[in-house]
Amino acid sequence: MLVHLLRTCLSGDGDRPAGWAAAPADPVIAAALHAVHRDPGRDWTVATLAAEGGLSRAPFARRFTACSGGRRWPI
């Protein structure tokens, strides 16, 4: 089951991962993820995560959704 899960989540176009595995490769999303890892106890919002990545809320949310394959993440 683990192998199937990993294959499903990591299969992308060619050398690029897809879904949630692609998010850390995106510089904007990676900046937000690093911020969450630095301060996991903070009350994170879309606005504060977007600010970490240098975007406003709507573009950040669209980019995050595109990178994560439209799935919800437990941040």
pLDDT digits (tens, 9 = 90+) for 65-75: 888 766 554 54
- Tell me how far apart the alpha carbons of residues 46 and 40 are, in angstroms, rounded to a whole number: 14
Instruction: Quote the pLDDT of residue 51.
Output: 96
Question: For the chain, how far is it from start to end, CA to CA, in angstroms?
Answer: 23
pLDDT digits (tens, 9 = 90+) for 9-67: 655 555 555 566 667 778 999 999 999 999 999 999 999 999 999 999 999 999 888 88
pTM over 0.75: no
CA dist 10 → 14, 20, 58, 64, 72 (Å): 11, 8, 26, 17, 16
Phi, then psi, of 44 in degrees rounded to 5: -75, 140
Q: Which two tokens stand for residue 4?
A: 């199937």
